[in-house]
Amino acid sequence: MEHARLYRQLSLAMLNSEDIIELWTSSNPHLMEVAAAEMVRGFDVHSDLFFRFIDVQSYALRDMAASQWPFLRKSFLPVEDVPRDTPYDYFDDVRQQYDLFVCRLQQYVGNNDDKAQHVLATLYTIFEGIRQDITRLYPDMVMPTVEPTGCRQLMVFVTGFCNLRCPYCFSKEIDRKHIDVDKLDEIIDWSRRNNITSITPCGGEPLLYNHILYLIDRMREEGMTTYFATNFTIDISRFDTIDSDVVTTIYVHLTRSALHNQYLRQVMEKNIAVAKTKRIEVIARANLCLSEGDFYREWVPFLVANGFKHINLALTIPTQGGENDYIPIDRFRHFVPMVEYLVEELDKVGITYDLAKPVPLCFFSHSTARRLLAHTQGAMRCNISEDDYMKNVCISPSLVLTPCLGVSSPQIPFSLNLQWDDVVRTMRSKVVSMLSTPTFDHCTRCYLWQRRLCQGVCLSYKDKLRDASTIKKHLCE
């Protein structure tokens, strides 16, 4: 936290250009972070320095810019022309930041012909959100070819069994069975042939899957990696082959039934320590649920006590059966106090956070909305749109493919003859249709929606309320 204290001290006064240059060229990463923050914070004064120092390798500056300027981030759908000089009722300050950025970019390019190609190519390469803007503004400039950076992943619901019964869990609708080892081999072989590099075991509780170690070993053989979410109440000391060469991240669910049970809590804490010794990244995962009252107030002390650096917050997913306990779409505002409390407490202890599923930021206070914009891209959009709308595709224990764990249709029976492109064509039309539907009547007056940066809500809610007019009716009441 040394650099954080240093930044707080330096940020008390506006730094001049000479100070920023000295900090940036110091080669000290903490001082470079301070310089990057000042270039972004004082962009209206230091825009020339920003464009001078931005580079593919200048991670501090690019990360700071992407966190503070949402328009630099990838949109969930191609961005159509956004009306210029049109004030928006929501997040108009982001539009103003965009206008200032474009204006200063044009000035810099006009005044530095010899550097124009380099700075435009750099911005085009590292900030996907403005590629169309750069192409429109400079149609004669030759932009570099940018290779896709994502990786194909497949979420496999290997088991429908779980040792807990959390009231909000969607797995109640998953078949209570394991995928047998022969079918698992077929899935892995199919994944390899279709250039899938990551298989995520889901459940139920994936650590209860009777072939979990076999799956890990097969992925190791194929050079694949994985991450998975677990309640972590199953002792992993016997899972000696679960190592960071295959398992990069484990998301640990914070459940009331586990944290309020002394034995299960001890198992969780032991598992967390074991995972850390294996150099596996451990991230907390917590589901916001109205019926669990103020249980969310117990999360931050648990995170601090167990050395967590990051927590993944999510709304629970509505189910087609409607029997599970989840936050209905017309009661979203009820969880706003939960999020605002957590944001305050997490910032106090220096734990970073992310919202795993899109949440309408227009519900929050100005302060919280801007903090969420800066700290979490998941607050606005789901990565389901990545990899040609195939990022979250799932296989159920019944061997049926669906767009994600919360969207139950279309359904495609799995077979070895199935082609990735065939799945893409089927999934894309459904996903794009839901993404294209504004969630609220006021979405058209929101700059984030116009830039296709905020999709409003998790698509599982739109999937539950299939008809677009029904969605608007529920949300606008």
Contact 39, 25 (CB under 8 A): no
Residues 6+ apart with CB under 8 A from 90: 362, 442, 445, 446, 447, 448
Task: For CA atoms 364, 367, 371, 374, give the dihedral sign.
Answer: positive
**Other residues' Cβ atoms within 10 Å of the Cβ of residue 82:** 15
End-to-end CA distance of the chain: 45
The pLDDT of residue 360: 87
Give the ranges where 308-357 is alpha helix by DSSP (H).
336-349
How many distinct helices (H) and strands (E) make up the chain?
Answer: 20, 10
Question: pTM of whole model > 0.85?
Answer: yes
118 contacts: CB under 8 Å, gap ≥ 6: none
The two three-digit tokens of residue 15, written as one number:
């730094």
Give me the pLDDT at residue 8, please. Answer: 52
Q: What long-range pairs does 25-28 form, CB within 8 A, spacing at least 24?
A: none
Torsion angle of C-alpha atoms 98, 102, 104, 110, degrees rounded to 10: 180
Closest CA to 125 of 115, 135, 111: 135
pLDDT given for residue 254 in this prediction: 96
Q: Which residues share a beta bridge with 354? A: 312
Strands of 281-288's sheet, edge to edge? 226-230, 247-253, 281-288, 310-315, 352-355
Q: Which amino acid is at 363?
A: F
pLDDT recorded at residue 203: 86
pLDDT, position 1 = 42
CB of 200 closer than 8 Å to CB of 156: yes
Length of the chain equals 477
Q: From the first residue on, what is the mean pLDDT of each consecutive set of 10 residues in the chain (477 residues)?
A: 50 77 91 92 95 93 94 88 84 95 96 94 95 94 82 89 84 78 95 92 92 95 94 91 94 95 97 95 92 92 97 80 63 88 95 88 91 81 85 87 86 92 88 87 91 89 64 50
For residue 461, which of 408, 397, 388 has the smallest C-alpha distance?
A: 408
Distance CA 357, CA 288 (A): 11
User: Which structure tokens are listed for 405?
Assistant: 């764990």
Q: d(Cα 116, Cα 416) in Å, to the nearest integer? A: 50
- Scanning 287-335, the segments in alpha helix (DSSP H) are 299-305
pLDDT (0 to 100) of residue 466: 58
